[in-house]
Structure 1
Amino acid sequence: MSQTPLLGARTLDRETARALPPGPRLPTLVQTVLFASHRKTYFPKLRRRYGEVFTIRLVPSSRVVVVLSRPDHIREVFGTPPTVAHAGEGNTVLAPIMGDHSLLLLDDDDHVRMRRQLMPAFNGHALRSYTGMIADLARAEVESWPVGEPFRLHERMRTLTLEVILQVVFGVTDQDRLAQLRPLVEKVVSVRPVIMLGGFYPRLLRLPPWRTYLETQRQVDEILYDEIGARRNQQNLAERNDVLSRLLAAGTWSDVELRDQLVTLLLAGHETTATALAWAFHELARRPDQLRAGQVAADEGDDDYLEAITKEAMRLHPVIYQVGRRLTETVEVAGYRLPRGTTLMAAIGLVHSDEEHFPGAGDFRPQRFLSDNPPAPATWIPFGGGARRCIGAGFSLLEATEILRAALTRYDVHAVRPRPETAQPRNVTLVPSRGCEVLMTRR
C-alpha cells in the first residue's frame, strides 16, 4: 500500500494555505519543540487565540496538522471511513520499533484483518480469564511496597504493568526466562523520542543510539520468536489463559505478525496504564474523601467505582494528549475543506478539560462516570474512537481495577508534598513530574 503524501511546506499552495484554519507562524522546528515538550500548555493557548480549530506545522517536511477540540468535530473524524482518514499513516514514525505489521501502523483491509484476528483475545470472556493472573501479580507487587516511607509510585506501577505484559500477554512464567527478558524489555519500553526519528530518517538507524536500541530489540525478538515457536508446538493452547496463546488458537498468523502485535501491546499498554494509575493514586493521596470512597469500593467489590477512579484520572490527566489521522482524499471537516495529505489531530486533552462537557473540570470526581448524566459520547476519549479505538481498552481498565483493589484494601495513601505534581512529557505520554511521590501506611 502506497503512502499518502504529507501535506507540507513543499506541497502547500497559496490558495490552500489561505483556506486552512488559522494558526501560529512560528518556524516549524519551534512549533515541533513546543508541541513535543509543552503541549498541555501550548494547545490551550492556541485554542484561546485561534479558536476551536487551528493549524500547526510539525516535522517532517513542515507537515500541516489541523487540531480539533470540539467533540462534534472529533466525531466527524472518528466517523470518517477508515479508508479516507488513515490512522496507520499517522504512526509511521513507530515502524522501526513496532514493526510493519503492527495494528497501529496498518490501514484499510490490512487493519481490518489484523484487528479481527486480535479481537478474540480481548473480548469479554477472554478478559474475565485474565482477572485472576492480574490480581495475583497486583497483590504480590503491592505487598512489596515500602510502608511509612516516601517512594515514587510511578516506577512501581511501571514494574507491575511490565510484569502483567510479560506473564499475562506474552505468557512467559518461567523465572529464568523472565529474568532474561525484564532488563531487555525495560530498555525497549524506555524508547526516547530521538529514537523515533529513525522512522522519518531511516539512515539514522545505522548510527548509535539507534543501532544500540535496535540491537536490544533484536535480543527481545529472539526470545519472542522462541516463545512463539514453543507455543505453536503445545497441544493445550485452549487451556492457557495468556493473550499469545489465545491469539494462536483463534487466528492464522505468521511469526512476524505475532511478534509485531506483541511488541505493539507491550509499548502501547505498559507505560499508558502505569501512568494512568500513578495519576489516580496522585489524586487519591490528596483527597481523603475520595480515598475513603475508593477503599470502600475495594472492600465491597464495587468494580464500577474502581473503574470510575481510573476513568476520571485519565480524564483529568490525559496520558496521551492527542491522536492523529492522515486524509487520503479531500474532505470537509469542521467547516473547512481540507486537502489530501492533511494530518487531523483530535486534541484529547482539550476536550477533557472543557467545562462545557465536564463541569468542575479541574476537580477529581469519579462519581461523574456513575451519575444519571454521564459524560456524552466523544467527550471522554482516552482510547481514541471509531474503528481505530484502542483494542486493549477493556484490558487496561480491568488491569487498573485489580491494581486499585489490591492497593486500596491494604493501604492508606498520603501525599508527600501538598502541592500537586505537574504533567511532564515522557516520550508520547504525560507523566507526574516527580514520579507520583506517596507514602503508604497500613489500614
Structure 2
Amino acid sequence: MTTTPAATATLHGLPPGPKFPPLLMTWIFLRHRTRFMRKSQKRHGDTFSVRILPGPRRIVVFSRPEDIKEIFAADPSQFHAGEGNTILKPVMGKHSVLLTDDSEHMRARKLLMPAFNGASLRGYRSLVESIAKREVDSWTDGQTLVSLDRMNALTLEVILQVVFGVTDESRLERMRPLVNRMVNINASMLIAWSYPKLFTLPPWKSYFVNQQKADELLYAEIAERRDAKDLDSREDVLSRLLKVGRGEGHEHEALSDSELRDQLVTLLLAGHETTASALSWTLHELGRNREVLREALKAADEGDDAFLEACLKEAMRLHPVIDFVARTLKSEQTVGGWTLPRGTTVAPSIVMSHARAENFADAGTYRPRRFLDEHVAANTWIPFGGGIRRCIGAGFSLMEGTTVLREVLQRYDVVADEPSPNKLRNITNVPEDKAPVRLSVRH
C-alpha cells in the first residue's frame, strides 16, 4: 500500500496522517513510536505526516528506498539534519556534530573523521577486546545474564576508556555514576528539552545538576590532557581530537574545549546504549536460533568477523535501535512526489524500511546470511542514516559489537526462550525485558 503519488502527479501540502491533537501525538511519538509508525503505515501508506510539539512541528515519514535516496542525496543546505535533531541540544550542546549544519557541520566532521578512520579503529580494537574479556570473565556457567544491563556496563567502559581515554580507576569511579545518569533519559526528560522552563523543576532540575557535575569532570580531563607529556603517544579518541588541527598549515582551527565537550557527550549518547541495545538484541536472536548460533560459535572460534558482523547487522535490521532520521527543509522542496513547505521535517523511517518485504525477503526472520550471500540494496538498511550525514561512528560501532560478540561466543553458548518485546527508552529501542539469556560454558 502506498500514498505516494506517481512522479507525474506531484501533490502540494502534507500527506495524510493521524489526526491526534499535537500534545497527545507528541506523547505517543515519544513513548510508543515504533508501534505507532507501523500502525500508521498500514492505515495511511508508505508516506504519512504527523504534528508534534513544540510548534507544532510537521514531520513527513518516508519508507520507500527511492524516497530515502532522494532525501539522503539532497542539498544539505536545504535539508538541515542538525535542525532536525534540535531536541537533543540541551544535553549534547550547540557544537554537536549531530546538531550543526552547513559549514559548521563540515568543519566538525572533518576534524572528527581521522579519529574514526580504518587505522584508528584497528588501534582501538585491542582495548575493546581487553574490556570485553574482563566483562566476560565475571560471568559464570549456568548464569541467567541480563544482557542489556551487562552490555550497557561494557559499552560504558568502552566510551570512558577508549573514547574519553580515562583509565585511572579512581577517576572511572567518579565518572561512572555521573555519566550513567546522563544517559538515563526518559520521554518526560525529552519533553523538558523542548520547554527549558521545566529545567528549574524536579525531576528535570536534578538531571541538569548531574550534567553540570559530569561536565566539570570532562572539562578537567580535557584541560589535563592538553598538557599531558604523553599526548602524542596516546591513541584514545579524545587525545586524537586534541592533536587534530595543531600547528601551522592546517585548514581549520583545532577544536575548542566546549567543542570537545559537546562532541564527547554526543559520542557518549549516540554510541553507548545504541551499541548495547544492538548487542543485547543479537544475543537474544542467537539464543533463539540454534542453527545460526552454531554458525556464529564456529565463526568466533575461527576469527570469522564477517559472519559475526552480519549477525549484528541482522539484529539491527530486525530490531532498529533508532526509529528514524530527520531533515528540516529550509525552502519548499518536492520529495517523493509531494511538494512540501519550508519548515517541514522529512524523516526516512528506519523501522519501516527494514521491515519492507520489497527490501528484505522474509523480513520477519533473523537470517544474518542475507548480508553475506545476497545483495542488500542501497537505502534499505539504514541504521546509521545516509548521505553526508551518515553516522561518523558507524565503523566504530560495528567494530566494537563484533569484537564483543567474538569474546562472548568463544566462551559461552547462549539460550533465550521467548521473543523479547520492544520498548522505546529515550531515543533508543531496547528489549523491554532486557533480553535475558542463559549461559553455558563451551567445552
Same fold at TM > 0.5: yes
Q: In the TM superposition, what is the alpha-carbon distance from 1:31 to its structure 2 partner?
A: 2.1
Matched, 1:364 2:366: yes
Q: In the TM superposition, what is the alpha-carbon distance from 1:151 to its structure 2 partner?
A: 2.9
For 2:312, give the aligned amino acid. T
For 1:360, give the aligned amino acid. D
- Taking the aligned partners of 1:411 and 1:140, their CA distance within structure 2 comes to 14
**Residues 197-206 or 266-275, more deviating:** 197-206
For 2:139, give the aligned amino acid. W
- Taking the aligned partners of 2:192 and 2:359, their CA distance within structure 1 comes to 39
Q: What is residue 52 of structure 2 aligned with on the other side?
A: 58
For 2:223, give the aligned amino acid. G
Q: Under a length normalisation based on structure 1, what TM-score does the superposition of the two structures give? A: 0.94
Deviations 1:241-277 (A, max 9, x none): 2000111111301111001100110011000000000
Deviations 1:51-78 (A, max 9, x none): 2111111111222111101011011111
For 2:65, give the aligned amino acid. P
**Residues 184-193 or 315-324, more deviating:** 184-193
**Residues 162-171 or 93-102, more deviating:** 93-102
- Taking the aligned partners of 1:143 and 1:380, their CA distance within structure 2 comes to 34
The alignment partner of 2:326 has SS state of strand
For 1:365, give the aligned amino acid. R
Q: Aligned residues, how many? A: 424
The alignment partner of 1:75 has SS state of helix
The alignment partner of 2:369 has SS state of helix
Q: In the TM superposition, what is the alpha-carbon distance from 1:33 to its structure 2 partner?
A: 2.5
Q: In the TM superposition, what is the alpha-carbon distance from 1:316 to its structure 2 partner?
A: 0.4
**8 Å CA contact retained: 2:325, 2:349:** yes
Q: In the TM superposition, what is the alpha-carbon distance from 1:234 to its structure 2 partner?
A: 1.7
- Taking the aligned partners of 2:13 and 2:116, their CA distance within structure 1 comes to 43
Deviations 1:64-117 (A, max 9, x none): 111101011011111111111111111111111011111111011000000000
Q: What is residue 174 of structure 1 aligned with on the other side?
A: 168
- Taking the aligned partners of 1:110 and 1:199, their CA distance within structure 2 comes to 23
For 2:280, give the aligned amino acid. A
Match of 2:107 among 113, 116, 126: 113
Matched, 1:295 2:294: no
Q: In the TM superposition, what is the alpha-carbon distance from 1:50 to its structure 2 partner?
A: 1.5
The alignment partner of 1:431 has SS state of strand
Q: What is residue 385 of structure 1 aligned with on the other side?
A: 386
Q: What is residue 155 of structure 2 aligned with on the other side?
A: 161
**8 Å CA contact retained: 1:93, 1:198:** no
Deviations 1:22-52 (A, max 9, x none): 1122222222232222222221221122121
For 1:405, give the aligned amino acid. R
The alignment partner of 1:103 has SS state of coil
Q: Under a length normalisation based on structure 2, what TM-score does the superposition of the two structures give? A: 0.94
Q: What is residue 198 of structure 1 aligned with on the other side?
A: 192
Q: What is residue 7 of structure 1 aligned with on the other side?
A: none
Match of 1:268 among 260, 267, 270: 270
- Taking the aligned partners of 1:226 and 1:104, their CA distance within structure 2 comes to 24
Matched, 1:320 2:322: yes
Q: What is residue 136 of structure 2 aligned with on the other side?
A: 142
**8 Å CA contact retained: 2:12, 2:339:** no
The alignment partner of 1:323 has SS state of coil
Deviations 1:113-155 (A, max 9, x none): 0000000100001000000000000011011123213231100
**8 Å CA contact retained: 1:92, 1:199:** no
**8 Å CA contact retained: 2:146, 2:436:** yes
Deviations 1:371-395 (A, max 9, x none): 1x32101000000001111000000
For 1:305, give the aligned amino acid. F
Q: In the TM superposition, what is the alpha-carbon distance from 1:203 to its structure 2 partner?
A: 1.3
Aligned positions of 1:35-434 closer than 5 A = 35-251=29-245, 252-371=254-373, 373-415=374-416, 418-434=417-433
Q: What is residue 6 of structure 2 aligned with on the other side?
A: none
- Taking the aligned partners of 1:205 and 1:27, their CA distance within structure 2 comes to 25
The alignment partner of 1:366 has SS state of coil
Q: What is residue 437 of structure 1 aligned with on the other side?
A: 436
Q: Over aligned residue pairs, what C-alpha RMSD do you find? A: 1.2
**8 Å CA contact retained: 2:14, 2:49:** yes
Uncovered stretches (5+) of structure 1, i.e. residues with no partner: 1-16
For 1:289, give the aligned amino acid. E
- Taking the aligned partners of 1:199 and 1:329, their CA distance within structure 2 comes to 26
Q: What is residue 251 of structure 2 aligned with on the other side?
A: none
**8 Å CA contact retained: 1:119, 1:391:** yes
Q: What is residue 26 of structure 1 aligned with on the other side?
A: 20
**8 Å CA contact retained: 1:96, 1:198:** no
**Residues 232-241 or 118-127, more deviating:** 232-241
- Superposed structure 1 runs of 4+ greater than 3 Å apart: none
Q: In the TM superposition, what is the alpha-carbon distance from 1:18 to its structure 2 partner?
A: 7.0
- Taking the aligned partners of 1:290 and 1:400, their CA distance within structure 2 comes to 17
Uncovered stretches (5+) of structure 2, i.e. residues with no partner: 1-10, 246-253
For 1:182, give the aligned amino acid. R
Deviations 1:274-315 (A, max 9, x none): 000000000000111111111111111111111111100100
